[in-house]
C-alpha cells in the first residue's frame, strides 16, 4: 500500500522530531504493525487553556497552555496572563485515533473494536477509493468559558473547579487506552503482521 508507506514515513519522521504524544507511541506502533490498517493524525488526549478569535475558529486559535496530562490550578491561572483577543476557555479532550483501513470489512472491525474499548464516539469518517477512515473517539469533552478579549471573568473558585473537572475527565478518558491496546493485540493476532511496517521502521529508526 503506497498510502500506508507514506503514512509510516510521516509517523517515523514525527517520532524523530518528538512530535508524537509519548504515552501512545507504543500503541501507534502496534496499530501500524497490523496488516491492512494504519494511523494518521492521533492524540493521547489533552487539557489546557485555548484562545479563539471567535467560536469555532480552530485554525486561528492558540493554546495558552496545553498538556497531555493533568494540569495544576497555578499554571492555568498563570497562562491566563497571556490572553489577548477572543474567547478564552478551558478545554479537556479525550484521546482520538484516526485509522485508515484498506477496505470496508477491516474498517468495520476497527469500528467495532473502538466501541468495545469504550470509545463511544467511534465513527466512520471518510471514504477514498476502497479505503475507509475510522475515527476512534471518546465522549469526555469539556469546555468551560473563562473570559474574552484578555478579560478573565472566571473567579479563582470557578477556575479551580474547571481544572478539577477537566483533569478528572482526561484521566477517565485515558483509562480506556489499555483496553484499546488489548483489543488491537487481538486484532493483530487475527489479521497478522505487516512486513511493510518493519521495512520502513528499519530504514528510518
**Domain spans in the chain, listed from the N-terminal domain onward:** 39-191
Residues 6+ apart with CB under 8 A from 141: 91, 92, 93, 94, 169
pLDDT of residue 130: 84
pLDDT tens-digit readout, 15-42: 999 999 999 999 999 999 999 999 999 9
Calpha distance 37→7 (Å, rounded)? 11
pLDDT of residue 85: 92
146-149 long-range contacts, CB within 8 A, separation 24+: 146/49, 146/80, 146/88, 146/89, 146/90, 147/80, 147/83, 147/88, 148/86, 148/87, 148/88, 149/83, 149/84, 149/85, 149/86
pLDDT tens-digit readout, 62-105: 999 999 999 999 999 999 999 999 999 999 999 999 999 999 99
Q: How far is CA 76 from CA 5, 85, 162, in A?
A: 40, 17, 10
Calpha distance 121→98 (Å, rounded)? 12
pLDDT of residue 55: 73
Q: Is the pLDDT of residue 1 over 80?
A: no
User: Percent of the chain at pLDDT above 70?
Assistant: 99
Is the Cβ–Cβ distance between 102 and 35 less than 8 Å?
no
Average pLDDT for residues 147-176, to the nearest whole number?
Answer: 97
Q: Is the pLDDT of residue 10 over 90?
A: yes
pLDDT of residue 30: 98
Strand partners, 65: 49
- Dmax over CA atoms of the chain, in Å, equals 55
Average pLDDT, the chain: 94
Give this prediction's pTM.
0.91
Joined together, the cell numbers standing for residue 6 give: 507514506
Fold of 39-191: SSo0622-like fold (3.30.1960)
Give residue 190's pLDDT band: very low, low, confident or very high (50, 70, 90). very high
Give 149's DSSP letter. Answer: T
93 phi and psi, to 5 degrees?
-130, 140
Amino acid at each position: 500500500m503506497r498510502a500506508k508507506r507514506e503514512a509510516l514515513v510521516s509517523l517515523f519522521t514525527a517520532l524523530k522530531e518528538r512530535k508524537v504524544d509519548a504515552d501512545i507511541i507504543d500503541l501507534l506502533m502496534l496499530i501500524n504493525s497490523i496488516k491492512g490498517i494504519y494511523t494518521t493524525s492521533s492524540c493521547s488526549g489533552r487539557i489546557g487553556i485555548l484562545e479563539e478569535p471567535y467560536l469555532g475558529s480552530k485554525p486561528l486559535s492558540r493554546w495558552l497552555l496545553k498538556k497531555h496530562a493533568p494540569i495544576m490550578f497555578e499554571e492555568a491561572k498563570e497562562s491566563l496572563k497571556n490572553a489577548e483577543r477572543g474567547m478564552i476557555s478551558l478545554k479537556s479532550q479525550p484521546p482520538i485515533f484516526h485509522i485508515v483501513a484498506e477496505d470496508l470489512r477491516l474498517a468495520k472491525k476497527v469500528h467495532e473494536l473502538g466501541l468495545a474499548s469504550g470509545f463511544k464516539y467511534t465513527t466512520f469518517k471518510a471514504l477514498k477509493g476502497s479505503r475507509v477512515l475510522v475515527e476512534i473517539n471518546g465522549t469526555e469533552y469539556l469546555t468551560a468559558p473563562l473570559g474574552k478579549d484578555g478579560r478573565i471573568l472566571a473567579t479563582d473558585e470557578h477556575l479551580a473547579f474547571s481544572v478539577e473537572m477537566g483533569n478528572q475527565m482526561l484521566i477517565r478518558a485515558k483509562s480506556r487506552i489499555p483496553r484499546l491496546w488489548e483489543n488491537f493485540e487481538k486484532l493483530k493476532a487475527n489479521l497478522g503482521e505487516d512486513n511493510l511496517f518493519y521495512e520502513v521502521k528499519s530504514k528510518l529508526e
